[in-house]
Every structure is written in structure tokens, then in C-alpha cells.
């Protein structure tokens, strides 16, 4: 009995989906659009994260040492820094390496190479480049260095860059927070559009719902097929969206890589395909069923 009812509800939902083919197609397209917006927000989030992480990794602090400082002393400073909780990475550049890099950078500039040759001696200092785990932790690292007050340290460029570093840090935080809010607002709008479309679909069928009621249908027997149709709309919308993202990410990938070489959209999509389609299908099907449920309820009061 229950099985027969379930079979009837499923087949009625499918038949209605098929017979109202144009209406179904239009609904799927609108829902796909909503899911497309949500999908784009996911990619935008990933892209923004990569960009922000890149920016953050470019913020660093350099510690320059007196020219006569021994490598042993410098390495003990390096070791202290490495064991600091807020430090992500420490890179040592010796005086010779600094000079080689400098020469390489200015090899086309006659004036500079000439001046270097005249000097004879290496004018550059050895340095340690420190990267923090988080841009907001530089102040802690800086105060740690001040407290230690190493005699071999010539200068720390953090104090010069302090305001820039701090401002960049607060910008990054603001971008992350407002990006999340914006994504949420857009996702909600997309869902409302899909919800309203389904409400319109069911509005056009409100008389049928009334008739079914008068013929003696129970609430669930009438509602069931609409939920099945709603789930089918969501399923196909998710399918369409996921498929569309294949050529789209493939096409957009090199263009984005031009902006941020570290971000490969297409491989990101392929790598997260399972999670991505899971989100799409869950969103689509839940949205379809829930919208239908709410919309049908109004017209069942006969």
C-alpha cells in the first residue's frame, strides 16, 4: 500500500515534469543560473584566497647584520627566529650571495657595475628574511627582536615598513570579511530567484491542487509529485551547471593565470570536482524540494 502510493507519487512527479516540458526547461534554466552564481562565488573565494595568500607571503621583514658579524652569530639569530611561534619561514642571504644577486639584477647598468668595481670591497650586508605565519603577527616578531637586542644587528626594516605592513594586514582582513558577506548576499538572492520561479510554477497549477483536494487527495499525495518535480528541477539544474563549468573554467584559466600565476582555475575545478558537484547537487535538490514544499502549502488549504 505504502509502496504503491510511493510509486504513484514518483511517477506522477516524473510525468508532470515531462508533460510540462517547456515549463520544466525554463525552471531548470533559472535554477541553473542561481547555482551558477553560487558556483562562481566558490571559485571567486578560492581565487581571492590565493591572491591574498600571495600578497601576504610578500610581506616580510629583513634583518641586516653588521658587515663584520660572523656567520655563526647570524645563524644563532636565525635559529632563535626559527623557533619563534609566529615565524613561518626564515631565509639567510650571505654577503656574497647578496652581491651576486645585486650584480645579476644590474648587469645591464654600466654605471652601477662600474661603481661596484671601483669600490673593490663588498658593500652589502648579510641579511635574514623573515616571513610571518600571519601578517598581523609581525608586531610580535618585531618586539621579540627588540627585546633580544642583538649587537650584530645593523637595522631591521620592519620599523620602516611597519605602517604599510599593518595597513595591508587590515585591508586583507576587511577584504576577507566583506567578501564573505557579499558572497552570502549574492547566494541568498540567487536562491530567492529560484524559489520565486518555483512558486510561479506552482501558482500556475494552483487550480489543479484545489481539484485534487476536492477529489479526495490527502495533503501528502498531492504534495508528493510537486516535491518530485522540484527535486528533478534541482538535479538537472545542478547537472547543467556542473557541465557548463568544464569549458568555462578551461577557457578562463589562462586569463586568470595571467593575473595570478599561482592560481590555475581549471585544475582547481578538476581537483575539487567531487566537492563542487556535491555542493551543486545538494543545493539544487534541497532548494527544489524546499521551495515546492513551501509553495504548495498555500494552495492545499481547500
Partner 1 sequence: MIFFDNVSKIYNSHSVALRDVTLRIEPKEFVSIVGTSGAGKTTLLRLLLREEEPTSGRILLDGFDITDVRRRDLHRIRRRIGTVFQDYKLLPMKTAYENVAFAMEVAGRAPEEIAEDVPQAIQLVGLTGKENNFPHQLSGGEKQRIAIARALINRPDVLLADEPSGNLDPVNTAEIVKLLLKVNGLGTTVLLATHDSKVINDLGRRVITFDAGRIVSDEEHGTYMPDVGEEKI
Residues that bind partner 1 (CB under 8 A): 1, 4-5, 8, 16, 19-20, 207-208, 211-219, 221-222, 301-302
CB of 6 to partner 1, least distance (A): 12
For partner 1, the closer CB: 181 or 214: 214
CB of 206 to partner 1, least distance (A): 12
For partner 1, the closer CB: 9 or 238: 9
Cα(first)–Cα(last) distance of the chain, in Å? 26
Phi-psi region of 149 (alpha: psi -120 to 50; beta: other; left: phi over 0): left
CB of 299 to partner 1, least distance (A): 14
CB of 194 to partner 1, least distance (A): 22
174 beta partners: none
- The Cα–Cα gap between 26 and 241 comes to 14
CB of 25 to partner 1, least distance (A): 15
Half-sphere exposure for 126 (CA within 13 Å, toward CB): 21
For partner 1, the closer CB: 1 or 85: 1
DSSP 118-186: HH-S--PPPEEEEEESSGGGHHHHHHHHHHH--TTEEEETHHHHHHHHHHHHHHHHHHHHHHHHHHHHH
Residue 206, number of CB atoms within 10 A of its CB: 15
For partner 1, the closer CB: 185 or 294: 294
For partner 1, the closer CB: 117 or 214: 214
Amino acid at each position: 500500500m505504502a509502496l504503491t502510493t510511493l510509486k504513484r507519487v514518483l511517477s506522477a512527479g516524473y510525468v508532470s515534469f515531462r508533460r510540462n516540458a517547456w515549463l520544466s526547461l525554463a525552471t531548470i534554466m533559472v535554477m541553473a543560473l542561481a547555482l551558477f552564481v553560487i558556483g562562481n562565488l566558490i571559485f571567486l573565494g578560492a581565487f581571492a584566497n590565493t591572491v591574498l595568500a600571495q600578497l601576504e607571503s610578500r610581506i616580510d621583514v629583513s634583518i641586516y647584520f653588521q658587515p663584520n658579524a660572523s656567520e655563526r652569530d647570524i645563524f644563532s639569530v636565525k635559529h632563535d627566529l626559527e623557533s619563534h611561534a609566529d615565524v613561518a619561514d626564515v631565509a639567510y642571504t650571505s654577503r656574497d650571495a647578496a652581491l651576486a644577486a645585486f650584480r645579476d639584477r644590474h648587469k645591464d647598468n654600466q654605471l652601477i657595475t662600474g661603481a661596484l668595481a671601483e669600490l673593490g670591497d663588498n658593500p652589502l650586508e648579510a641579511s635574514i628574511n623573515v616571513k610571518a605565519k600571519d601578517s598581523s603577527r609581525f608586531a610580535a616578531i618585531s618586539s621579540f627582536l627588540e627585546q633580544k637586542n642583538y649587537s650584530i644587528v645593523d637595522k631591521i626594516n620592519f620599523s620602516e615598513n611597519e605602517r604599510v605592513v599593518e595597513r595591508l594586514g587590515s585591508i586583507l582582513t576587511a577584504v576577507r570579511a566583506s567578501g564573505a558577506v557579499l558572497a552570502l548576499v549574492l547566494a541568498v538572492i540567487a536562491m530567492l530567484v529560484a524559489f520565486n520561479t518555483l512558486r510561479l510554477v506552482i501558482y500556475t497549477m494552483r487550480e489543479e491542487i484545489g481539484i485534487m483536494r476536492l477529489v479526495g487527495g490527502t495533503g501528502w499525495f498531492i504534495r508528493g509529485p510537486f516535491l518530485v518535480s522540484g527535486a528533478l528541477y534541482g538535479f538537472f539544474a545542478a547537472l547543467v551547471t556542473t557541465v557548463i563549468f568544464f569549458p568555462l573554467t578551461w577557457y578562463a584559466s589562462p586569463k586568470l593565470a595571467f593575473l595570478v600565476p599561482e592560481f590555475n582555475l581549471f585544475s582547481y575545478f578538476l581537483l575539487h570536482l567531487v566537492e563542487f558537484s556535491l555542493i551543486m547537487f545538494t543545493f539544487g535538490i534541497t532548494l527544489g524540494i524546499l521551495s515546492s514544499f513551501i509553495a504548495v502549502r498555500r494552495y492545499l488549504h481547500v
